Amino acid sequence: DAKTTQPTSMDCAEGRAANLPCNHSTISGNEYVYWYRQIHSQGPQYIIHGLKNNETNEMASLIITEDRKSSTLILPHATLRDTAVYYCTQWGDSGGGADGLTFGKGTHLIIQP
């Protein structure tokens, strides 16, 4: 069972910021929050990850709450190509061995023209 909860679907207008929430209330101290996305019929694509500080890269920003029980992925200027299923997952480098990445159902983000 997935350890994270996300809304099933979201819409966002092209050019606007897309904010995708994720709850991970059972996250432990050594587990990171990871975000991946999967465009239809393709393999999952890494987006970003973080432990407790906010992170930014060329694709997105990740905002993690102070208690680490939730986070938000921000796509600052969404384009039609960002339409995909976005997965939030938690994973620790010490305990993740046999479990690997676990994806739940994710959020289907639809970018509207």
What residues make contact with another protein under the rule CB under 8 A? 2, 32, 41-46, 49, 87, 93, 96-105
Report, in Å, the least distance between residue 95 CB and another protein. Answer: 12
Nearer to another protein, 32 or 61 (CB): 32
d(CA 25, CA 68): 7
Pairing state between β 9-13 and 107-112:
parallel
Report, in Å, the least distance between residue 68 CB and another protein. Answer: 17
Place of tokens 């207008």: 13
Instruction: With H, G, I as helix, E, B as strand and everything else as coil, classify residue 95.
Output: coil
Nearer to another protein, 16 or 105 (CB): 105
Nearer to another protein, 12 or 33 (CB): 33
Report, in Å, the least distance between residue 104 CB and another protein. Answer: 6
Nearest-10 Cα torsion for 74, 78, 84, 86 = 0
Report, in Å, the least distance between residue 113 CB and another protein. Answer: 27
Residue 23: what residue type? N
The answer to whether 22 and 62 have CB atoms below 8 angstroms apart is no
Nearer to another protein, 12 or 27 (CB): 27
